[in-house]
Structure 1
Amino acid sequence: MFDLIKETPMPEYEGTSFHYVHQGTGMEVFHIRNSNQERCCVFMFNTPSEDSKGVAHILEHTVLCGSRRFPVKDPFSQVLLSSPNTFLNAITFTDKTMYPFASPLKKDFDILFDIYSDAVFDPLLRKQSFYQEGIRSFEGKYDGVVFNEMCGGRSTEDSVVQANLTKEMFCGTPYEFDSGGDPYCIPDLTYEEYLERYRKWYSPSNCRLFLFGDLDTSEYLDKLEERYLNNRQKGEKIIPKSENYLQEQLKPMRVKATCPAGDSRSVVLTWLTSCGSDPLEVLTASVLVDILLGNPGAPLYKAIMESGLGEDLNPLSGTDVDSPVLTFSAGFSHAKEGREDDIEAFLIDQIKGYVRDGLPEDAVKAAIKRLEFKIQEIPGDGLPFGIATCLKAARCWLRGQDPELGVANISRLERLKAKVAQGRYFESWMDRYLLQNDRRCLLTVESDDQYDEKFQASLQEKLEMQRAMGLMASEEDRLAYENFVNTPDSPEALATIERITREDLPRSIKSYHNNLHKLATGARLYTYNVFTRGIVYLSLAFDTKGLSESEKRLLPLLVRAMQMCGTKRLDFTQLSTQIKMLTGSFFMYPSAGADRHHKPVSLVVVKAKMLESDLVDAMDLVAELLTDPDFSDFSRLKASLSDMITEFESGYTYSGNSYAVMNASSIFSATAMESEINMGTAQWFYLSALKKDLEEGETTWKSLSASLTKLWSKVFTQRAMKVHVGSEMDEDKLVQIVSIFADKFKVGKFVRTSSYYRNFKNPTAVGSVDRPIVYTVPSGPAFNALAVHFVRTTEKDYVASALLSSVLSSGYLWNTVRGVNGAYGVESHVDGMEDLFVFSTYRDPGVKQSFKAFREALSQELDEDEIEYAIVTIIGREIRPLSPQSKSSEAFRRMLYGMGSGLYLRRRRLLLQMSRSDLEASAAKIAAVMDKDSSVTIVCGSDMAKKLKSLKTIALPV
């Protein structure tokens, strides 16, 4: 039985919190009950590591591989087949493991609750699942989903920096170990150790359950009591209190480490500061990071960029709010060799200066104003609101404190403002926790050309040692594993998973009505009425389809430079502060695509959000940034270029599949190629070549500045501009404000489509494409992409292909490429604007096996149930509750691409009428052109590329 120990009104969540404790086991439940229809649930356990064998990570994978009530091999993927969930995951942190899910459909939420609760409290933990998801050593090599994932994870410089900082700063505590697993240590984990750790960690006594939204708490407490808690004995409640990890014995240290080959070099200075379970300290550290490092104009960020000690701010700079003791890090990427002494002295001197002279008052005000904005705004983008709220609660709750403390945003903010009002609050904090604090580490990470070879040699040596000691899996285990993998779940097991059907889903389609106002200036204003709690969402689109190809290549740098160079009135630091003071966010980006009639839509998109009370001043600032940029400060241009190149280097590491897909798709149309030019591999090579030319004197910063100015004058005009506003403001007032705003832009010429689009020829059509192509990074698994161009003659063709891609992603591809081949991720999707059917893999240990699976997927016999499940999944995505910002963004997108509600209604009706024969016809059509109208891109480590000798290989400019 659960006892209610606390009930608290929570006006900022428009609800009430209820805190329960189970009498027998001590299990705790915290529910923020309100009218939010996106219901959320998180089961969480403290799982502090005792080694780097990755047992917490492997358990996270395998508790979801079958349980007593749901004995299928992978309930997780089974439920994905027919769930309209908005979030479904399992996450291993340094010291805890979480199992979060969310759904707007009550029936679906209940199904997920049953599956997740049985998974964590009554899993089967089969040895075969341990082999599949964790580690196995059959056929003379190590394999397993977690093992392969962590091999990929260790292939990046950032991951090496993070791992070494945590290891050194928390030496002698559970936090020194890699909870995800060190690939060298994972093979040491035995099945028996794995089972023992489950029994220790997954006791109900060590479980906290977080609920959020429109739910009857008692319904779920009764389920837990009846199924799992009634006869359980009280176990250990693990509480890793922050004060136990203060590491007061530490002295300043210097550490060197190596990472995979590349031309980067990281030097990072990190301090341990205050307790991570104190909400005020978490807020203090977060706001201070925002003040000092929050954007390229922030004082410390700007100083780092202008120091000459390195090329860019290291991406690990900032604070880790989930650490038991908050860290503060600052450092360099591409640091100058042999300058460690100078770097450490420079960073400490900068902090001394801020303590001595005080932080810029307007920067502090702007950071707090931005924080107030976040609290006022109705959330919903990114993580579901309930899941994001749970993460805040967990920082206190899992360390033995009241979960309420972590989610009381307004009271924390008021406490912070009171402290700041007393004067020199942040300066005193820096003096205490940075200058008067010896708990710091200067870490240098350098590339090693032999890094990967050494690692592979060490694994092979371990393999030979385990074989000699008789520690390898037996032949009996191997045969049992292969039989397990190749035997489908029984119909009886599958029948235990309750399904959502199309009859459970709402029939209505969301509509987004924009009102058009033609302004006297020539610009067009579209207004979208939506409840926003007093916030205005502004979107601007500047038509760029009149640009030449060379101008399109330069456009991304122009857009970045406009955000990093300031205006003629405001230098970059002043501009950045004003943006933070007057807006909740501001960003710009180039975009390329095609509308529903396959006509090019080429744009620079500008987005900002602001309080109604700040609208006029904010729009004046946006107009100044767009109409009066200053490119005369060459150091800011250099920073812009370096910033973009650094983003590509890290982006390829974590999202190589996205870049591979973009590159493979680029050959089929001018608009797809434009996306590659703007955001893909082609842009990276362009920027790297430009950087080299500037360094070697082939071009000058002065000529680059002139080129940017010329391009700017061509893009940002009234005739190229569309304005979209999502708000609850009076429309006449908006027309008046936007008219004044638009009048600040020069009229410009009418935009005419450039010859770039007319001159484009599909290389596959003329036989000139050199594919497949392999792009190499220093190390790591593969990201594979195959794009097939097919002819879509009707809307039914699109709907059938989209449904087919969903069926294959969750069925054959998941089972084969992930389950058997060991890739961490795989999917197929349809690019409806370009008529492309796309396959891709993520962190894939193989290449040939995956492309074989892509080909075979189109000839698989389709199951009626899987088709039904996919229909539910697709419609489920469309019923997710959206925030006002998301609604405004969708209304803006539909306006730009001519996507009316009627189109979506037709697609919904076609989707509900789809049959197996429709999908088989679609698969046959795509298969028929796979060999003659397709494109392949592979991104992988150089070692893997050596095995692909017959393919064209190009090294990325890492």
Structure 2
Amino acid sequence: MNFQIGDIYSGFKLVDKKTVEEVNSLALIFQHEATGAKLLKLENEDDNKVFSISFRTPPHDSTGVAHILEHSVLCGSRKFPSKEPFVELIKGSLNTFLNAMTFADKTMYPVASKNKKDFFNLMDVYLDAVLYPNIYKYPQIFMQEGWHHDLESPEGEITYKGVVYNEMKGAFSSPESILMRKIPESLFPDTTYGVESGGDPDHIPELTYENFINFHKKYYHPSNSYTFLYGDGDTLEELSFIHDNYLKDFKKIDVNSSIAIQKSFGNMVENVVEYPISQNEGEEDKTFLSLNFVVGKATDEELYLAFEILEHLLLETSAAPLKKALIQSGIGKDVFGSFDNSVLQPTLSIIVKNSNEQKKDEFKNLVFTTLKELVDKGIDKKLIQSSLNIKEFYLREADYGGYPKGLIYGIKCMDSWLYDHHPLMHLSYEPQLKKIKERAEKGYFEELINEYLLKSDHSSLLIVKPKKGLAEEKDRNTKEELKAYKEGLSKDELKEILDETEELVKRQNTPDSQENIEKIPLLSIEDISRETEKLPIEVLDEGGIKVLKHDIFTNKIAYVDLYFNTENVPQELIPYIGLLSGVLGKVSTEKHDYEDLSKEVNINTGGIYYSATAYSNSVNVDEFTPMLKVKSKALVSKLGDLFKLLLEEIRSSKFDDSRRIKEILSELKSRMEMTIFDRGHMIAVGRVASYYSAVGAYLERVSGINLYHFVVDLEENFESKKTEIESNLNKLCKLIFNKENVTISVTLEEEDYKEFKKELPILVKGFGDNAFEKASYNFDLKPENEGLMTSGKVQYNAKGYNFKKLGYKYTGTMQVLKTIVSFDYLWNKVRVQGGAYGCFGGFNRNGNMYFVSYRDPHLKNTLNVYDKTFEYIENFTEDERGMTKYIIGTVSDVDSPLTPSMKGDKASANYFSGVKYEDIQREREEILDTKVNDIKKLAPIAKDCMKEQYICVLGNEDRIKEEKDMFNNLIHIFK
């Protein structure tokens, strides 16, 4: 339709209209006449439609009110009064994205779906949730999602309980998380950015129900809202739906949600923060040093983009001059940067990890000396070109790792829209990019460094240092405070808390009425295609090399992945495969030193990445194919350059630079530590699988805790092991990078394949041609049942086994069971009642199954819940509507949208695992045809797998020691 500026459509006045070529969209900007609500629609041909409603929600304290409200409004509303419509949608919609997000100054509620009917259903539930939530009727929602005093008997111990409370206890267990949360506090002490919008566990219990309600009353109004729509949906129909069902019932009000500007300090301020470590850990080399600078405003579109490029240039590659100077100085063992431009006053942080407090002046001086040298002497032109190229490649590729493009665009719009500027400012990046390119080699980035860093009058030095016993001290203080609080209660006050706890538990244990459940809109099975998407794959032979061709539109980008079978690597060298994947591309080659190599890669490609992985055999549970995967991408026109660089890295990398290898080991160790904190649930799942699964045992050695301890040992004993390291890495390169054991996967359009074929000999002629001889692997599989102890305040509890080893077969029905168990039984028992942030199960084709919890205050209780899962499955009952819901939710997961690169990856993975299209189609039919009895028949699998008693818990040292009898081994992860 030809929309006209100034015209009104279903109460929305069109105020601007613009083609945004960068995102291939027509942008329509509306304002709702009656309420002042803002709305942006990006019209395009993308069938993955996105809706989001956001509110400007600047908190004034660290009680986490914005975060708790984000959780709570999704726990029932006027039209959809079931306790958790959000979970019902996860169970039973075709959503391609469904979540909510709390930022420092805004709260967003985005959904996405390819199905029109489903898309409108999702909009309906979310709009009703934010505008008419049941938080006013049921204080128990606040208690459950936020915090409450938990007391189950008069003589019992009173505790704090709540989902967000435990989530943030987990977040404040990671030193990196503490650092990133304290940076804005150091720079913005007088504005909303100086408080913790997610909630500081020390302050969350200060939030009252009254203040919680008032926050919603103040900010959750259409007059303070920003609605974003994206995709191929009918804009008129969408506007009509929003107006007729919601906005027509509201009038415009004044909402004071303005965000103040923090005045500059003049001088740099210095803050010191402590983080907890275990009693057994040493405090040396565990301090974080961070220099932080305020950089203009997010509404300066050129500066916004330029500093993204500058941060990459200074800190994100092997050639990054500031990173190199800091690493080589020995001030710390890892260096990384952060540019946060999702706030009104963006910040650049320069961070050194594994340092010491006494090095703070040396750190500060070296940063400023290095920056001044860059300004005085000029930045290497090739380095500038490489960072510009990689940023431009990223912008044009628009591959956001499985997240809907529309969602990312919507978030980017908010970076200007929220601050009363044009919402398209950061999507229309071409003019800014052109200016930056034109000025880049004329001192542009040097000027930015000088003005915003060297001459900054708004900066901080933040020191985050370890303290033994801090977690225990806080726990002890909390217990004493609660004990004193309880002792100070009158009989009536004590009874009130007991009654409130009982009322909450009663609400949690009472199923929703069928009437309320049925108010949540649901598709029918007929809305789902019975045909699974056929991922394109053609197996070809190109000069003796096996090529997997995936004919997919990629906008002239070629995704080329090399899969090297590593079965010829001796068992004792398996951990070195994990190390090799972390070293390649970061060391010098015969042709380039590592800095020049990094520049060449970023100038000519979209990146080259290495990973050690393995593919399970879909039939034989004991068989798997280990691989070293080399993932790369480039413009089709640059394939020749890509192949030359690939060959250079895999065939002529030099491992004799001891200093460089030591630096890489330190960085690997640091990054793995971050992963252990951030993805503790997957660490625990991988670890427990290594007890009963050969592929699990292998993956632990190339990417799990085993590899972490291997890297720690090499770093600590580097001088005595450096010759061995060099020798083994050279040996692996000769073993692995050969014609005999390589398969190449290429994802591009058919018309571009000829270019790939033409350039391929450049690559192939450089491969070795050693004979491929399989090694013999013998992993000692047994129930290690480890308690992996950290100073963290929460647990990640995993339990599992391989059901194929017990004689069971994999079926698609198990994926429906996964949905049911994860979002009904485990959700209610572990999250709702137990207070964990999350809990879910998995049933894999190779037979490995597991249950795992995330940021869980409990340990034994959760494992007991897992053991009783079979009883829930045995007694499972559901009507036809309920089964339809679970089936649709399962299909939503199975049909997650894939980028071109991801389609190529998935097709290749299926090929290596022996999974055929017919298998995937049969699984889909089993999913769609699942009945209640099919689910009940799976109860013995859960029962028998849990009876095997394979567990792994990653979490709080004291809590694990309290349950030490459950474990065969207690291990301190960090030293």
Q: Where on the TM-score scale, by shorter chain, does this alignment land: which range?
A: over 0.9
**Corresponding residue for 1:564?**
586
In 1, Cα distance between the equivalents of 2:536 and 2:631?
A: 19
Offset of residue 488 of structure 1: 1.3
Q: Do the aligned partners of residues 670 and 797 (structure 1) sit closer, same or farther apart at CA in structure 2, a change above 3 Å counting? A: closer
Matches within 5 A, 1:786-935: 786-791=799-804, 797-833=810-846, 835-860=847-872, 861-865=875-879, 866-932=882-948, 934-935=949-950
Q: Do the aligned partners of residues 737 and 895 (structure 1) sit closer, same or farther apart at CA in structure 2, a change above 3 Å counting? A: farther
**Residue among 127, 136, 139 paired with 2:139:** 127
Offset of residue 881 of structure 1: 3.7
**Corresponding residue for 1:549?**
571
Report the more deviating stretch, 701-710 or 47-56. 701-710
Offset of residue 115 of structure 1: 0.2
* Stretches of structure 1 lacking an aligned partner (at least 5 in a row): 764-768
Secondary structure of the equivalent of 2:937? helix
**Corresponding residue for 1:714?**
735
Matches within 5 A, 1:477-492: 477-492=500-515
Amino acid at match of 2:858: G
Amino acid at match of 1:859: E
Deviation per residue, 1:516-555 (Å, 9 max, x gap): 33233x3222222111111101010011012122111111
Q: Is residue 948 from structure 1 mapped to residue 970 from structure 2 by the alignment?
A: no
**Corresponding residue for 1:325?**
345
Residues 25, 234 of structure 1: 8 Å contact kept: yes
**Corresponding residue for 2:76?**
66
Residues 788, 926 of structure 1: 8 Å contact kept: no
Residues 293, 347 of structure 2: 8 Å contact kept: yes
CA root-mean-square deviation: 1.9
In 1, Cα distance between the equivalents of 2:489 and 2:601?
A: 64
Q: Do the aligned partners of residues 730 and 289 (structure 1) sit closer, same or farther apart at CA in structure 2, a change above 3 Å counting? A: closer
Q: Do the aligned partners of residues 239 and 478 (structure 1) sit closer, same or farther apart at CA in structure 2, a change above 3 Å counting? A: closer
Matches within 5 A, 1:621-700: 621-694=645-718, 697=719, 699-700=720-721
In 2, Cα distance between the equivalents of 1:880 and 1:794?
A: 30
Amino acid at match of 1:5: V
Amino acid at match of 1:842: Y
Deviation per residue, 1:853-872 (Å, 9 max, x gap): 11111111223354432321
Secondary structure of the equivalent of 1:339? helix
Deviation per residue, 1:65-104 (Å, 9 max, x gap): 1110001111100111111211111111111100011111
Secondary structure of the equivalent of 1:260? strand
**Residue among 242, 255, 258 paired with 2:274:** 258
Q: Is residue 363 from structure 1 mapped to residue 379 from structure 2 by the alignment?
A: no
Residues 35, 213 of structure 1: 8 Å contact kept: yes
In 1, Cα distance between the equivalents of 2:268 and 2:581?
A: 42
Offset of residue 836 of structure 1: 1.8
Offset of residue 220 of structure 1: 2.8
Residues 786, 838 of structure 1: 8 Å contact kept: yes
**Corresponding residue for 2:4?**
none
In 1, Cα distance between the equivalents of 2:863 and 2:806?
A: 27
Residues 517, 735 of structure 1: 8 Å contact kept: no
In 2, Cα distance between the equivalents of 1:815 and 1:208?
A: 33
In 2, Cα distance between the equivalents of 1:515 and 1:801?
A: 30
TM-score by structure 1 length?
0.95
Q: Do the aligned partners of residues 107 and 307 (structure 1) sit closer, same or farther apart at CA in structure 2, a change above 3 Å counting? A: same
Q: Is residue 435 from structure 1 mapped to residue 460 from structure 2 by the alignment?
A: no
Matches within 5 A, 1:38-49: 38-49=48-59
Secondary structure of the equivalent of 2:468? coil
Percentage of identical aligned residues: 28
Q: Is residue 150 from structure 1 mapped to residue 168 from structure 2 by the alignment?
A: yes
In 1, Cα distance between the equivalents of 2:953 and 2:817?
A: 23
Report the more deviating stretch, 23-32 or 799-808. 799-808
Matches within 5 A, 1:226-305: 226-238=244-256, 240=258, 244-261=260-277, 262=281, 263=283, 264-305=286-327
Residues 636, 755 of structure 2: 8 Å contact kept: no
Q: Do the aligned partners of residues 537 and 412 (structure 1) sit closer, same or farther apart at CA in structure 2, a change above 3 Å counting? A: same
**Corresponding residue for 2:200?**
182
* Stretches of structure 2 lacking an aligned partner (at least 5 in a row): 1-10, 152-157
Offset of residue 312 of structure 1: 1.1
In 2, Cα distance between the equivalents of 1:733 and 1:492?
A: 61
Offset of residue 364 of structure 1: 0.8
Secondary structure of the equivalent of 2:810? helix
In 1, Cα distance between the equivalents of 2:210 and 2:276?
A: 34
Q: Is residue 616 from structure 1 mapped to residue 640 from structure 2 by the alignment?
A: yes
Deviation per residue, 1:466-522 (Å, 9 max, x gap): 5537788644433322221221111111111011232111222211232333233x3
Residues 797, 922 of structure 1: 8 Å contact kept: no
Q: Is residue 523 from structure 1 mapped to residue 545 from structure 2 by the alignment?
A: yes
Residues 101, 112 of structure 1: 8 Å contact kept: yes
In 2, Cα distance between the equivalents of 1:237 and 1:246?
A: 21
Secondary structure of the equivalent of 1:864? coil
Residues 690, 781 of structure 2: 8 Å contact kept: no
In 2, Cα distance between the equivalents of 1:549 and 1:319?
A: 42
Q: Is residue 741 from structure 1 mapped to residue 776 from structure 2 by the alignment?
A: no
Q: Do the aligned partners of residues 56 and 668 (structure 1) sit closer, same or farther apart at CA in structure 2, a change above 3 Å counting? A: same
Q: Do the aligned partners of residues 912 and 796 (structure 1) sit closer, same or farther apart at CA in structure 2, a change above 3 Å counting? A: farther
**Corresponding residue for 1:390?**
410
In 2, Cα distance between the equivalents of 1:755 and 1:856?
A: 39
Offset of residue 250 of structure 1: 4.1
In 1, Cα distance between the equivalents of 2:686 and 2:735?
A: 27
4+ residue segments displaced more than 6 Å: 469-472, 792-796
Report the more deviating stretch, 638-647 or 191-200. 638-647
Offset of residue 453 of structure 1: 2.2
Q: Is residue 111 from structure 1 mapped to residue 121 from structure 2 by the alignment?
A: yes
Report the more deviating stretch, 280-289 or 406-415. 406-415
Q: Is residue 89 from structure 1 mapped to residue 111 from structure 2 by the alignment?
A: no
Amino acid at match of 2:713: A
**Corresponding residue for 1:766?**
none
Q: Is residue 6 from structure 1 mapped to residue 3 from structure 2 by the alignment?
A: no
Residues 801, 923 of structure 1: 8 Å contact kept: no
Deviation per residue, 1:386-415 (Å, 9 max, x gap): 000011100100000110112212233223
Q: Do the aligned partners of residues 168 and 734 (structure 1) sit closer, same or farther apart at CA in structure 2, a change above 3 Å counting? A: closer
Deviation per residue, 1:601-638 (Å, 9 max, x gap): 11100011100111111111111111110111111111
**Corresponding residue for 2:5?**
none
In 2, Cα distance between the equivalents of 1:51 and 1:465?
A: 25
In 2, Cα distance between the equivalents of 1:595 and 1:30?
A: 48
Offset of residue 725 of structure 1: 1.0
Amino acid at match of 1:136: H
Residues 804, 923 of structure 1: 8 Å contact kept: no
Q: Do the aligned partners of residues 486 and 512 (structure 1) sit closer, same or farther apart at CA in structure 2, a change above 3 Å counting? A: closer
In 2, Cα distance between the equivalents of 1:673 and 1:27?
A: 55
Q: Do the aligned partners of residues 824 and 344 (structure 1) sit closer, same or farther apart at CA in structure 2, a change above 3 Å counting? A: same
In 2, Cα distance between the equivalents of 1:51 and 1:651?
A: 29
